[in-house]
Amino acid sequence: MPPSSKTTSGLDQNLAAALAYVLGALSGVVFLLVEPENRYVRFHAFQSTFTFLAVAVLLLIVMGLPFIGWLLWVPSFLAVTALWAFLMFKALNGQWYKLPFIGEWAEQQLK
């Protein structure tokens, strides 16, 4: 767990990392722009951006499926909401939690 420290915005890094997930890809991009130094916040901002852009594309594809797409909408929405809450919880608690594939990609962006 990274030590708690302030960010460029003056927020605690755990809070800033969790806030990077609040509005999905949008808040991820915002924190990438306002936080140039803190690796913990930037990791979560990258992961948020990549995850929720991918989710948006997948949900659009699912919604485009005749009939079955609308049946899958509710379970998909619930799964995405659970993932969103889980990622915010992990970030707020100072955990560098990496999703499969996307987490690795997000971490590579820090180098």
Encode the chain (111 residues) as per-residue pLDDT tens digits: 445 577 888 899 999 999 999 999 999 999 999 999 999 999 999 999 999 999 999 989 888 888 888 889 889 999 999 999 999 999 999 999 999 999 999 999 998
Q: Are 45 and 31 in contact (CB under 8 A)?
A: yes
CA terminus-to-terminus distance, the chain = 19
Q: How many CB atoms lie within 10 A of CB 78?
A: 10
Segments in the chain forming alpha helices (H): 13-22, 25-34, 39-63, 68-92, 102-108
